[in-house]
Amino acid sequence: MASPNPPRELTFRGLILGALITIVFTASNVYLGLRIGLTFASSIPAAVISMAVLRLMGGGTLLENNMVQSQASAAGTLSCVFATFPGLIIAGFWTHFPFWQTAALSFAGGVLGVLFTIPLRRALVTQSSLPYPEGVAAAEILRAGADKGNQRGLKALISGSILASLFSFCSSGLRLLSDGLSLTTTAGSAVFQLTAAFSPALIGAGYLVGLTGGLAMLAGCILAWGIGVPWLTGILPNPQHLPAAQFAQDVWLHKVRFVGAGAIAVASLWTLIELMPPVLRGIRTMLQRSTGLTATTDKDLSARAMGVLLLFSTLLLAVFFTAFLSPVAHGVGPVVMAAVLFCIVFGFIMAAACGYMAGIVGSSSSPISGIIIIGAVLCALMILALEALGLTPDAMMADGQKLATAFTILLLSAITATVAISNDNLQDLKTGQLVGATPWKQEVALIAGCLVGAAVIPPVLNLLYQAYGFSGAMPRPGMDPSHALSAPQPALITLIAKGIFTHSLDWNMLSAGMALGVGLVALDLFLRCRSLALPPLGVAVGLYLPASVSLTLAGGAMLGWALKRVRHTRNKKAANTAEHTAQEDGPIGTMLASGFIVGESLTGVLLAVLSGATGQDNAFSVASWLPVGLPNILGAVAFAALCWTFARRTLQPS
């Protein structure tokens, strides 16, 4: 029998608090994604913040906290559209991010992601034994907070953010500290280069990724910079007589990176193949389920509400696809219809695959980047098929296929929002199941998170682009390209789409990468038989990302592994309090790591605001007043001190 006074769950103040947290984590994830190509899971830090704030306001409940973290988590995940929208600027089609077009497509894709997770909830959450590591962890934190709060976790999050903010301001703002270290040497004509970034966010991201993922990226980095770049610089000509360091970067950018792209494609395809049987079983179970369940904890949005939202999202996609094409092309109806249908069909298949993967390894480790690459290829092939059938306007393929490339990126942006949200929402629904939440209310909170996130993303993208620019696409002359955001995924997506349409892809390097991907898959299968693993996608991403990212992230992963080993040893020695110590100390490293990411990311956004206000990207720099080489020394010392502080705080007992 239902309680006559049910606890607070979906409340107005919760929605407002969720929206405020959303703004912070969305901005942080967009910045982090454009800088290093990764984002962080915001469920746990959002839950900690929610518990602290609602406790101060009074009357906060476990279910209300769960709604807030669900909303903030959805919006933080929607920021994955950073992987596609900037490609429109890199391709030369946009000069800024139009608010309504960017926001509407992000929101429509996000709503589809929520809708697709509803029929999958019973198959992949309620009636499934999948572990959902992040969902279970968030539920445990919510339960602990309902009993006694989690003030220590909140303090760790805040202190980590402050430390990372101070370091980042001294590094990126004042330029008092170097933001990295690079060493270059030659052996004959072969060039060897070692590059590491002094980045709190990368240390935090590595800690959260874990040892297996960090070592996989390190392996990819070694393949790229220990084998690929030295070998190619040794056999390729250098007609422009570039300095050794610049020549190595040029070879990596135009040759080795394509090897990484090919490996990513194969590793992603293999992941999808592995996921298909259980996903199909889950969908079959869903279709065979009984429709008589009406318990509060099993009620989804009604069929009518889902139908209205599906129709609304479909119309929104159609309207803004048309608005994108119609100013430069006529007769776009067939293309728009095919694009909307592609979003729904491909989006649902990928939602199921990513949702299942999130259930196994967590949202942060799900191979969204690889799936986006596959989506880019399929989008481009769909447009080529429409052209072969005579259904595309002539303008699509004119001017070097510029419009076709741009529309591929735009279509992929909506699909990215769908896949990213579905990847995260099943994790949130698992948390809800464990704490006894009402599914339909949680689904409303998720849609609210998509709405707020979609409104935040366009201004943040504009702000970051105007302040830093993207590698190869600067907003104005005279800007320092060394401080441009690398935007690795948008650059790759643009390269692939343009290459397919113009037949200019470096198929030799791509083929080598695909062959390497097959070898990595075989190696991973071999290692699994011995209870080991080397994720092929992680190795491929390590090949593709800059060495400074891969090395520092791997360092964070190894630091996290060492700290957990030390803590485990201490817990074994303190046998009488082992359970208590493990529960109390475990989340602190996670909260500090999240704080490092949030602090550096928000400082990057703040510096972007100041840069926009002053019209300079080095307005606060004091580097010209310092002796040459001093920022490198100060940066290395300060970064080492930051890592030591992270270790000491993580190991500090309650």
- Count of CB atoms situated within 10 Å of the CB of 243: 11
Q: Are 445 and 70 in contact (CB under 8 A)?
A: yes
Report the SS3 class of residue 86. Answer: coil
Report the SS3 class of residue 59. Answer: coil
d(CA 391, CA 383): 9
pLDDT of residue 357: 63
Q: Where are any strands of DSSP class E within 159-249?
A: 180-187, 190-197
Q: Does the residue 149 lie in any domain?
A: yes
pLDDT of residue 645: 94
Q: Does the residue 185 lie in any domain?
A: no
pLDDT of residue 428: 81
- What is the C-alpha radius of gyration for the chain, rounded to an integer number of angstroms? 24
Mean per-residue pLDDT pooled into runs of 10, the chain (654 residues): 58 82 78 70 71 77 81 75 88 90 93 84 67 65 61 77 90 86 89 90 82 88 94 90 88 85 80 66 54 58 86 94 86 90 85 67 58 82 88 80 89 90 80 81 85 89 86 79 78 84 80 92 91 84 82 90 86 59 58 79 70 64 83 92 92 73
pLDDT of residue 399: 76
Half-sphere exposure (CA, 13 Å, Cβ side) for 553? Answer: 32
Q: Does the residue 385 lie in any domain?
A: yes
Residues 6+ apart with CB under 8 A from 29: 39, 40, 42, 76, 77, 79, 80, 82, 601
Encoded tokens for 478: 């005279």
pLDDT of residue 426: 79
- Helix H or strand E segment including 319: helix 303-325
Q: Does the residue 405 lie in any domain?
A: yes
Q: Are 501 and 405 in contact (CB under 8 A)?
A: yes
Q: Are 65 and 146 in contact (CB under 8 A)?
A: yes
Report the SS3 class of residue 290. Answer: coil
pLDDT of residue 291: 47
pLDDT of residue 281: 62
pTM exceeding the 0.85 threshold for the entire prediction: no
Q: Are 25 and 76 in contact (CB under 8 A)?
A: yes
pLDDT of residue 73: 76
Tell the burial category of 561 from Cβ atoms under 10 Å away from its Cβ (0-12, 13-18, 19+).
Answer: middle
Range of the domain at 94: 12-160+267-289+298-500
d(CA 615, CA 649): 39
Q: Are 245 and 547 in contact (CB under 8 A)?
A: no
Q: Does the residue 180 lie in any domain?
A: no
| Cα pseudo-dihedral 373, 375, 380, 384, rounded to 10 | 140
Strands 190-197 and 180-187: antiparallel
Bridge partners (DSSP) of residue 181 are 196
pLDDT of residue 99: 93
Report in angstroms the alpha-carbon separations of 181 from 37, 132, 417, 492, 632.
20, 38, 35, 25, 7
CA angle in degrees (0–180, nearest 5) for 150-153-155: 110
Give the number of domains in the chain. 1
Q: Are 160 and 170 in contact (CB under 8 A)?
A: no
Residues 6+ apart with CB under 8 A from 273: none
pLDDT of residue 641: 95
Encoded tokens for 76: 């933080």
Q: Does the residue 113 lie in any domain?
A: yes
Q: Does the residue 566 lie in any domain?
A: no
Q: Does the residue 61 lie in any domain?
A: yes
Encoded tokens for 637: 């010392």
pLDDT of residue 139: 72
